[in-house]
Structure 1
């Protein structure tokens, strides 16, 4: 592929941006400047308001064309505190619900915005869609592969607008960076590396802890089996429990997974996956891996390698000197695209830096955007009634979420091996061995004996276009595409939507 000059690309980008604005994206542009899109106010309910839900309250609540009219949370204290805050700020107190089903009965609500724990994302979205609402649902859009596809089917069947919470998709700097890759800016790209080097400490010992008195634990558990609370914190640390979360691969990592797949131009979940790692360095109540590598292969020879590091780690990137000063193009929580004519490092949610093949900055960089652009894009699509107008349509969210899930499936089906034994299995694959060598060094840096420590090595699973597994281990792996749902919190089958 022919390299694109920086001047040519920027000239075309400016023309495209101007044309897009004239063609009807003025609402996004105006909102970014502080002016809200015109039209009747849209009535919004936010479900799950303790953590990321706060950003949803700001994303919709700060717009002149939206009004937050309802809040849903299973924690009574959090629920009322948020309602008090909104009333103090706006003079209007939103209705409060502990059960989202009661909220969805309100026909005047236009939009449901979901920021619950992962195990609720798909069912909450489907219930809202069936109630005639448009939906903004946080990443990952699902807790397993099958239910994510059900959300896509529901959105199409009921004609609803459903946006995924991967805000990078709407940031102008990121969109320009990915467009640069797609137009041959760094040549042909066969490999993308997603990195989630985000140290996480122990969550404390496994035990029997009290459920907060303000929480309706039946509703909190929802689709999952009701179990005693065996970790210190009910909130957030659910990310590291298989019943509710997907580890950092499906927490922080889903952002970088989505960018990597987007840059590779792949609208599927790949042809195969192999994952290895472990919960290493400490023993606690957590179940998911804190150190993990997943290798995804696509039909056309492209590869996506994803690395999670939850232990202490050095920054990863490309060192260089500028004006006699040592600097680094950091990709520690980011994505690296390797092209035949250059490298693109994406170190954030809103842009990228182009390097030459030696890893030195070329001077080409892209930057700009914030969460507001993503909420604005969603509102534009709600008004146009075209899901094609979404920057992060639910199916895009499904593909990227499902890639995290299949990586975890391989890992969970794994067996104990030493690093040396795994190296023998990867013999002949230079890139995989280079990744494993850095994985090994990372363990050594954290004083983990790589000669004797057993890591969990999953099987290489073959994936069909229908998003199922085939070949060796398919029977066990296919069972993990879904879960046992607890009545009445059951994600419907395709025929029951």
Structure 2
């Protein structure tokens, strides 16, 4: 072993099943300040979908070099390499395994746009290797992963930015700060709407993966399932072993904004989630229609997710109901009035503008300055936001199929949630062709949550979903205190 190169040693450790617990030694002294004129060298991990946005944005930032492109699917390398070279003049190195890039002492940061099930392990390995990290939403695939990510960023003193780009929008900062301050009254209920058409992923037989795709590496820390063409590259979002459904996908953006507007220190105390996968039969597992209600004590949160309205544009919106009226769509509607008062400089609903360029620039600025406090959304923010998605999905996954005639009792004391349930049923009849007299939906249990320990109260089944079994060679590392 002492005669082998470091790369050979890493490959040996990975093959022997102890690679994930192996701490990659740091490549730069912790806390090193990079000069304003020094080039920041970044590796982009996951280059099929969102990763292409990472490539374009970093390619347009001053003194940033895309040094590596990382993806288990080597079929992507030629076109992505050419795109980076055309934009920047630099030719990135393409590798399938993130650990190969982490060996490079001159690499400063890893930008993770890989599937959700890889977010935690890539982040932790990168922190152990002395690299800073930008990790896409949701921060983690489960609660324990998020806890380890927070611990790794602290233990190895790394800059870790969470990819909820609204955090860097000054309009959203002011808007939510005003709501938290009580400018429009005391916040009572926040109402999230995620209306995003999601078509069937179909039914595909398992087959051998393409030879250019290292499918074992793609699966990584998740359970191994047979390869299907409707799993890789994008449809993994709707499979529990790899994705977190729409609640963890687009929901992450809006959960983070609601957390900004909630009273300081507010924490979830309970959750209930209902819904189903309606309108088609396919191999997807996550709901395409879901209603989730959170209790934060004096404040409530309702999240409505619908995926069947194919003829309507995407709608991502948040309404804030206070004791004085309603804040929605950039207007304040005083209680009892139908006409809203425009809020100056209010943010627009929808996805972040310009692909979140400000957010990436904020990350690079913090890589240079080493000032974690300047991060727009650090890993702890990301973790606490992801916890909300995990709570809703845990209730849903533990639910039972019941007839629509059975009303969800967990919504009875939440007027907005009850009204949203009625609206969802009308939506399913109109757009999902659901026969409510015969149809069934999944009714999740109301779960109590201890936010201090991030555990479910007296529910072993729910606590079992806080993590997942390790897969050999991709174990989630323990982080020393």
Change (3 A) 1:417 1:86: same
> Alignment partner for residue 303 of structure 1, among 295, 300, 308?
300
Q: Is the 8 A contact 2:272 2:410 kept in 1?
A: no
Change (3 A) 1:91 1:426: closer
Q: Is the 8 A contact 1:47 1:113 kept in 2?
A: yes
Change (3 A) 1:342 1:97: same
Alignment partner of 1:462 is 2:459? no
Once the two structures are TM-superposed, the CA of residue 177 in structure 1 deviates from its matched residue by: 1.2
3-state secondary structure, aligned to 1:449: coil
After superposition, where does 1:270-285 map in structure 2 within 5 Å? 270-285=268-283
Once the two structures are TM-superposed, the CA of residue 94 in structure 1 deviates from its matched residue by: 1.1
Change (3 A) 1:359 1:263: farther
Q: Is the 8 A contact 2:66 2:90 kept in 1?
A: no
Partner of residue 25, structure 1 = none
3-state secondary structure, aligned to 2:122: helix
Once the two structures are TM-superposed, the CA of residue 195 in structure 1 deviates from its matched residue by: 1.1
> Alignment partner for residue 375 of structure 2, among 390, 402, 408?
390
Q: Is the 8 A contact 2:65 2:90 kept in 1?
A: no
Change (3 A) 1:266 1:272: farther
Q: Which moved more, 1:182-191 or 1:204-213?
A: 204-213
> Alignment partner for residue 356 of structure 1, among 334, 346, 361?
334
Q: Which runs of 5+ in 2 are unaligned?
A: 1-34
Q: Is the 8 A contact 1:49 1:71 kept in 2?
A: yes
Partner of residue 407, structure 2 = 422
Q: Which moved more, 1:183-192 or 1:82-91?
A: 82-91
3-state secondary structure, aligned to 1:420: coil
Q: Is the 8 A contact 2:215 2:227 kept in 1?
A: no
Once the two structures are TM-superposed, the CA of residue 331 in structure 1 deviates from its matched residue by: 9.3
Once the two structures are TM-superposed, the CA of residue 201 in structure 1 deviates from its matched residue by: 0.8
> Alignment partner for residue 407 of structure 1, among 381, 392, 395?
392
Q: Is the 8 A contact 1:145 1:482 kept in 2?
A: yes
State the alpha-carbon separation in 2 of the partners of residues 425 and 68 from structure 1: 49
Partner of residue 147, structure 1 = 145
State the alpha-carbon separation in 1 of the partners of residues 407 and 478 from structure 2: 39
Change (3 A) 1:205 1:331: closer
State the alpha-carbon separation in 2 of the partners of residues 417 and 266 from structure 1: 38
Once the two structures are TM-superposed, the CA of residue 239 in structure 1 deviates from its matched residue by: 0.4
Partner of residue 319, structure 2 = 336
Once the two structures are TM-superposed, the CA of residue 418 in structure 1 deviates from its matched residue by: 2.4
Partner of residue 192, structure 2 = 194
> Alignment partner for residue 475 of structure 1, among 457, 460, 463?
460
Q: Is the 8 A contact 1:70 1:95 kept in 2?
A: yes
3-state secondary structure, aligned to 1:422: coil
State the alpha-carbon separation in 2 of the partners of residues 375 and 425 from structure 1: 40
Question: How many residues were matched structurally?
Answer: 438
Deviations 1:255-281 (A, max 9, x none): 112112221145565111111111111
3-state secondary structure, aligned to 2:405: helix
Deviations 1:377-424 (A, max 9, x none): 112222221211111111111111111011111101001122331245
Change (3 A) 1:372 1:427: closer
State the alpha-carbon separation in 2 of the partners of residues 204 and 231 from structure 1: 10
Change (3 A) 1:267 1:72: farther
Q: Which moved more, 1:265-274 or 1:287-296?
A: 265-274
Q: Which moved more, 1:83-92 or 1:154-163?
A: 83-92
Change (3 A) 1:362 1:313: farther
> Alignment partner for residue 104 of structure 1, among 102, 105, 114?
102
Once the two structures are TM-superposed, the CA of residue 137 in structure 1 deviates from its matched residue by: 0.3
State the alpha-carbon separation in 2 of the partners of residues 450 and 260 from structure 1: 32
After superposition, where does 1:87-102 map in structure 2 within 5 Å? 87-102=85-100
Once the two structures are TM-superposed, the CA of residue 425 in structure 1 deviates from its matched residue by: 5.4
Change (3 A) 1:359 1:121: farther
Partner of residue 223, structure 2 = 225
Q: Is the 8 A contact 1:331 1:345 kept in 2?
A: no
Alignment partner of 1:173 is 2:171? yes
TM-score, normalised to structure 1, is 0.84
3-state secondary structure, aligned to 1:46: strand
Q: Is the 8 A contact 2:206 2:226 kept in 1?
A: yes
Change (3 A) 1:375 1:228: same
Change (3 A) 1:231 1:87: closer
Partner of residue 79, structure 1 = 77
Q: Which moved more, 1:162-171 or 1:431-440?
A: 431-440
Q: Is the 8 A contact 1:76 1:98 kept in 2?
A: yes
Partner of residue 33, structure 1 = none
